[in-house]
Structure 1
Amino acid sequence: MSLPTGTLTLDRDKDTGVAVVTLDRVRRHNAIDLATADALVSLWRELRFDEDVRAVVLTGAGTAAFCTGIDRNADVPQPGSPYSVDDPLATIGPKSNDLWKPVVAAVNGMACGGAFYLLGEADFIVSSTTATYFDPHTTYGMVSAYEAVYMAQRMPFGEAARMALMGTAERVGAQRAYEIGLVSELTDPADLLPSVLRTAETLAGFPTEAVQGTVRALWSAKQAALHQALAQAPALIALGNLPPDRQAALFTSRRTSPDFRVR
């Protein structure tokens, strides 16, 4: 497919059956603008029909960030109703687009906020030892709704609650993320992509019907609860978010580093 410049890159290897999807906005810490959101939706839908692709690796360009959520410069018009919120990230994940081929996330650097829409729909996460995870919403007067729901599906409830509520005051380091089960493997930064590619190539080498059926079965175990929880998100955001100008003021006055970190 033809991807908009400065959004994503897609590399397909017919010999291994693995596609590598890379968020490619390094200067914006791989934040997702509207063009990138649209490109992700189109990409996942295209990969459903590509029989040469049997497993997918999702990563971010550079070493500073996997993804820092929605680009703050994105202009997202909202309907004038407290009962409706348009969220451009709501359908950027592979499962939201009915892709049941295994997707493994490779995380280097920061993964925060809207990154959890993608991590929440990966089948498992491999993390470099330098990665950090945090959710800035509450710091800037925003409700963490979709993000908190996704993380509550992947982490012990208390850990998900702490991350969502503590905002930018602390970051979860890679070792702690591994200890609580958010990530399944830690690697040195230089070994991250080679390690994930080996895993993805293994998955792509198994009978595809069995692999996709297993992915579907795993997600069926939690999908009903996930859909019910996500359905509450728009109303909670409409009720709890500060007006955009007050959010912007908090963002402008932010401190450059967290007060402490969970290692």
Structure 2
Amino acid sequence: MSYETVLYDVSDHIATITLNRPDVLNAISKQMQQELYDAFMSAEKDEKVWTLIVTAAGRGFCPGADVGGISESGKVSYAEPYLASYPQWEPPREAAPPFREMAKPIVCAVNGVCCGAGLDLITTSDIVIASEKATFFDPHVSIGLVSAREMARLARVLPFNICMRMALMGRHERMDAARAYQLGLVSEVVEHERLGERAREIASTINQNAPLAVRGTRLALRKGQGLPLYEAELVAEMYRERVTKTEDAIEGPRSFKEKRPPDWKGQ
């Protein structure tokens, strides 16, 4: 599979999606937005893929939208008439994976500066790790725009006052990787040179587990987030019940009793 702004590779049940516009720190163009969506959906539909990794080429992770492609009004432009299609009623997708349409887990490896719409890749991924060189901020108010979708998502990850500070300080204050780890924005900070290797280690560890059980668990947590506890428990039970009807749900206990590694089929 070949793209112009994204690298896509599949091996060992892992799809690696690499933002590949290093000359502009991987700023999101219209073309990259579409290619990212296509790559995410290709991985989701590929039976050989169990886990995804998202990372970037060069010294930057993603600074958000390509400013050169932003209209003078600051509005998102569409090819069709205004409000003529459903996506126009939804928050702009930009770099974010279509995580509401996906079951497979996503590991995000942040290699450098991450801001603006690049933050969506953090809040919509399932495990986020960062290079020691990574930095985070939101520049919207510094270029005359409202910090909207990105901060609404980030406020569900960071303490509210920290999120508010990031939103209001704009590009004039950056959070380093150590602080991001301290606050829980990322789950691990690694040496810059080991970032890609560590991301694959994490994805490979996930893949040692039953793939359908992993997806059901991810969906249970994602769908239950924000619900009252009792409703979240019911959602989790629904996914648990579905997975009990799979071959892997039989293989797990059987392999344990037979004292051998499980042979997961994803069925």
TM-score range, shorter chain: 0.7 to 0.9
For 1:224 and 1:145, the matched residues in 2 are separated by 22
> Map of 1:128-167 to 2, 5 A cutoff?
128-167=131-170
Q: Note closer, same or farther for the CA distance 1:147–1:155 as it changes in structure 2 (3 Å cut).
A: same
Structure scoring higher RCO (CA < 8 A, sep ≥ 6) equals: 1
CA contact (8 A) 2:108 2:129 kept: yes
Name the % identity: 36
**Residue of structure 1 equivalent to 2:93:** 90
Q: Note closer, same or farther for the CA distance 1:45–1:85 as it changes in structure 2 (3 Å cut).
A: closer
For 2:37 and 2:227, the matched residues in 1 are separated by 22
SS at match of 1:114: helix
CA contact (8 A) 1:45 1:97 kept: no
Q: Note closer, same or farther for the CA distance 1:48–1:80 as it changes in structure 2 (3 Å cut).
A: closer
**Residue of structure 2 equivalent to 1:122:** 125
> Map of 1:157-196 to 2, 5 A cutoff?
157-196=160-199
After TM superposition, give the deviation of residue 85 of structure 1 in Å: 6.7
5+ long unaligned stretches in structure 1: 226-263
TM-score, length basis structure 2: 0.76
After TM superposition, give the deviation of residue 92 of structure 1 in Å: 4.2
SS at match of 1:190: helix
For 1:77 and 1:99, the matched residues in 2 are separated by 26
Q: Note closer, same or farther for the CA distance 1:12–1:34 as it changes in structure 2 (3 Å cut).
A: same
For 1:86 and 1:210, the matched residues in 2 are separated by 33
Q: Note closer, same or farther for the CA distance 1:88–1:146 as it changes in structure 2 (3 Å cut).
A: closer
> Map of 1:28-107 to 2, 5 A cutoff?
28-63=24-59, 65-74=60-69, 76-77=76-77, 89-90=92-93, 92-96=95-99, 98-107=101-110
For 2:227 and 2:43, the matched residues in 1 are separated by 24
Q: Do residues 11 (structure 1) and 15 (structure 2) align?
A: no
CA RMSD of aligned residues (A): 2.3
CA contact (8 A) 2:26 2:61 kept: yes
Aligned partner letter, 1:67: C
For 1:139 and 1:91, the matched residues in 2 are separated by 20
After TM superposition, give the deviation of residue 33 of structure 1 in Å: 0.2
- Among 192, 203, 206, the alignment partner of 1:203 is 206
After TM superposition, give the deviation of residue 194 of structure 1 in Å: 0.6
SS at match of 2:39: helix
Runs of 4+ in structure 1 off by over 6 angstroms are: 78-81, 84-88
SS at match of 1:69: coil
Aligned partner letter, 1:8: V
CA contact (8 A) 2:37 2:98 kept: no
Structure label with greater radius of gyration: 2
CA contact (8 A) 2:107 2:127 kept: yes
After TM superposition, give the deviation of residue 38 of structure 1 in Å: 0.6
After TM superposition, give the deviation of residue 26 of structure 1 in Å: 0.2
After TM superposition, give the deviation of residue 95 of structure 1 in Å: 4.0
- Among 77, 92, 111, the alignment partner of 2:114 is 111
- Among 209, 216, 220, the alignment partner of 1:217 is 220
For 1:198 and 1:51, the matched residues in 2 are separated by 20
- What per-residue deviation string (whole Å, max 9, x for no partner) do you get for residues 176-231 of structure 1? 00000000001010011111110001112211111001110111122679xxxxxx
